[in-house]
A = this chain, B = another copy of it.
Amino acid sequence: MPSSPIRKLVPYAEKAKSEGKKIFHLNIGQPDIETPETMLNAIHTFSPKVVEYSHSAGIESYRRKLTSYYDRYKIALDYTDIMITTGGSEAIEIAMMACLDEGDEVIIPEPFYANYNGFGMQAGIVIKPVQSFIENGFALPPISEFEKVITPKTKAIMICNPNNPTGYLYTKDELESLRDLVAKYNLWFFSDEVYREFCYDDKEYFSVMHLKGIEQNVVMLDSISKRYSACGARIGALISRNKEVMDAALKFGQARLSPPTFGQVAAEAAIDTPDSYFTKVKAEYVARRDYVVEALNKIDGVFCPKPSGAFYCIARLPIDNADKFCQWLLEKFSFENETVMLAPATGFYSNTALGTDEVRIAYVLKIDDLKRSIRCIEEALKVYPGRKSIREAVRAQS
Contact = CB atoms under 8 A, between A and B. Distances in A.
Contacts of A231: 51-53, 257-258
A86 to B, nearest CB: 5
A97 interface: yes
Contacts of A260: 86, 232-234, 260, 262-263
5 contacts: A31-B50, A43-B46, A54-B232, A118-B251, A263-B263
A255 B118 contact: yes
Q: Which 4 A-B pairs rank lowest in CB-CB distance, beginning with the nearest? A: A232-B261, A118-B255, A262-B262, A260-B260
A261 to B, nearest CB: 3
Contacts of A276: none
Interface in A29-73: 30-35, 39-40, 43-54
Given A50-B229, A262-B262, A234 B86 contact: yes
A290 to B, nearest CB: 23
Contact of A89 (B33, B49, B54, B255): B255
Given A119-B255, A257-B89, A262-B232, A30 B53 contact: yes
Chain A interface, DSSP helix/strand/loop, else mixed: loop
Interface string A88-118: 0110010001000010000000000001001
B248 A1 contact: yes
Interface residues of A, number: 57
Contact of A33 (B50, B102, B225, B254): B50
A141 to B, nearest CB: 26
Number of copies: 2
Interface of A: 1, 3-4, 7, 30-35, 39-40, 43-54, 86-87, 89-90, 93, 97, 102, 115, 118-119, 122, 124, 225, 229-234, 248, 251-252, 254-263, 266
A251 B49 contact: no
Nearest to A119: B255
A233 B256 contact: no
A251 B44 contact: no
Contacts of A234: 86, 234, 257-261
Given A86-B260, A87-B257, A232-B262, A32 B50 contact: yes
Contacts of A118: 251-252, 254-255
B30 A49 contact: no
